[in-house]
Amino acid sequence: MTTDPNRYAGPAEAALLRSHIIAEEDEMARVQSRLAAVGTTLHDAEQRLLAAQEETASARAILVQIQSREENLAQSLRVARGLLHPIRRLPADILSSIFETWLDETERDEKIRPVTYRAEHLPFVAGRVCRRWRHVALSTASLWTGVKLALDEAKLAPVAWLTYLESVLHRSKSLPIHVDVYASGVEDGTVTRVAAVLLVSSNRWCSLHISTSGPPSPDVRAIAGCRRTPLLETLSVYIGDEHHSSPPLSLPSYAPRLHTVDINEIFVDWNTCSRMDNVKELKYHMLLAPVNIADFALIASLMPNLERLRLLLLRGARGNSPAITFPRVTFAELNTDSVFAQTVRCPRLEHLDLTDLGTRSDISTFEAFVRNSQIQDTLRVLVVRAASLGSGFAHTLHLLKSIEEFETHNCALHDEFFAPLSGPGLGGSWSMPQLRRFHAYLKGSGHTGERMPCSADALRSMVAARRAAAAAGSANAPKAVEDVLRSGWNA
């Protein structure tokens, strides 16, 4: 049908138009009716949604109020229960003992006395709990008997460190104190003032540990060589001077209670030291420069009651000396040095720990030390570390008649090592006839240590042979090896 507005519909077309208009008007009425119904439904849904939102907001507000009330009640309960907690009824002396136990546990974890100028350490932590704990912590002198003095940090905050050090010394009252001093070797006037405050308390030092990463400064020397330390029991010094450019260090001249001395990488002026009759243990590590063998003559005269000698020295000791005897030493840790072995005697030695042994020269040095010290019948425990052991060393063990325990760490035990131990020698006697315990720890230091050979079959054959000989009960028969261990990552 044409839609030209200038054209007039004829009779036939008019009838069709009228019927079409009626149909469309009916359809329009139905659409409008549906539109009104949908609009009503949408309006009702919007009203319900608005009501639900209002109800949700109201419920949330009520929830917030309930949660706030719950938190208030919980806090009130915590306060009430805290007020009734038995710890509040503890006497001050019991609470002080608890703090001391806490301090002991912290020391075992940190390996040092934890009192430093840092708020995360005891007794500062206890002092932040409440007024009563703070009072008890401040008045418990034993909590303040440790001082870790970082001289380099003292340069950055001199006033704070001086105040802290004076406060610690005051709060520790008259108790012995444990002193740890750390420095880089660089000093200024500030460090001198801190050291001066520390030196005033030297008559109360119980232990002294000094560690530097460079040559010792005059302040470090003054602390190490303090003249009067009547309560000092342990002394440990580590100097990180790779070139050994500094003069020898002096040690305290008066320390009647000193029983343990630990010297690392620093020469000591032993001529200026007084007698140390109570020293029982000396640890002397010097791997960056050779020592003078004459120093050990001085050490033997200064420490006549020495019982434990731990030496790790650079090979090639300088100088010479007559025989040097340590008459009371029963325990020694040594690395092989020909000059030392020819000179030093330990006639009462019972436990010997050897490091870096394996060449023929080393074995000869070990044999010379055994013969010169005359420990064939006294040595009971032999430990060997970082060595290659073969038949040469095994034959040397024939000298040792009283060895009961033999132990190796990170050693190569070749098959020919076990053969001389599996039967009697030419004279019918067995090597180490009293041997009862044989432990071989094959893994090296750390997780990347070299694999150490030790044939399980050779070890088993040696143990079986000695057990069979012991069971037979013949003359010169050895003891049976009962405690055997072959441990390591390639065991």
Q: Give pLDDT tens digits for 204-244.
A: 999 999 998 888 888 888 899 888 999 999 999 998 877 77
Where is average pLDDT lowest: 116-130, 252-266, 311-325, 398-412? 116-130
Residue 61 has a pLDDT of 93
Position 490 confidence tier, pLDDT thresholds 50, 70, 90: very low
Report the first-to-last Cα separation within the chain, whole angstroms. 106
pLDDT at position 186 over 70: no
What residues pair up with 308 in beta bridges, in sequence order?
281, 331
DSSP letter at 467 equals: H
Residue type, 102: W
The strand ranges marked E within 185-330 are: 205-212, 234-239, 260-264, 281-286, 308-313, 324-325
Residue 65 has a pLDDT of 93
**Centroid of chain to Cα 59:** 57
CB atoms within 10 A of CB 28: 10
Looking at the chain, the whole-number percentage of residues with pLDDT higher than 90 is 37
Give tens-digit pLDDT for 35-70.
999 989 999 999 999 999 999 999 999 999 999 999
pLDDT at position 305 over 60: yes
Q: Averaged over 314-323, what is the pLDDT?
A: 79
- For the record, the structure tokens of 163 come out as 């105040």
CA separation for the pair 75, 69 (Å, rounded): 10
- For the record, the structure tokens of 397 come out as 């063990």
Residue 185 has a pLDDT of 59
List, in sequence order, the alpha helices (H) in 374-484: 391-396, 415-418, 456-472
Radius of gyration of the chain (CA): 43
- 3-state secondary structure (DSSP) of residue 411: coil
Phi and psi angles of residue 165, each rounded to the nearest 5 degrees, phi first:
-65, -45
Q: Averaged over 85-112, what is the pLDDT?
A: 76
Q: Which segment, 14-28, 92-106, 363-377, is predicted with the most confidence on average?
A: 363-377
Q: Are strands 308-313 and 260-264 parallel, antiparallel or unpaired?
A: unpaired
The strand ranges marked E within 99-250 are: 146-150, 177-183, 205-212, 234-239
CB distance 402 to 377 below 8 Å: yes
CB distance 264 to 239 below 8 Å: yes
pLDDT at position 5 over 90: no
CB distance 479 to 436 below 8 Å: yes
CB atoms within 10 A of CB 149: 24
Is residue 137 within a helix (H) or strand (E), and if so which, with residue range? helix 131-139
Query: Mean pLDDT, the chain, as a whole number?
Result: 85
- For the record, the structure tokens of 399 come out as 């000298």
pLDDT at position 112 over 50: no
CA separation for the pair 236, 208 (Å, rounded): 6
CA separation for the pair 329, 362 (Å, rounded): 22
Give tens-digit pLDDT for 421-473.
999 887 788 999 999 999 998 865 444 445 567 888 999 999 999 999 999 88
CA separation for the pair 316, 224 (Å, rounded): 28
Domain ranges of the chain: 83-144, 145-279
- For the record, the structure tokens of 245 come out as 């450019």
Please report the sign of the dihedral spanned by the C-alpha atoms of residue 163, residue 164, residue 168, residue 169. negative
Q: Averaged over 73-85, what is the pLDDT?
A: 85
Looking at the chain, the whole-number percentage of residues with pLDDT higher than 70 is 90
Q: Averaged over 379-407, what is the pLDDT?
A: 91
pLDDT at position 116 over 70: no
Residue 489 has a pLDDT of 43
Q: Averaged over 307-319, what is the pLDDT?
A: 84
CA separation for the pair 177, 199 (Å, rounded): 12
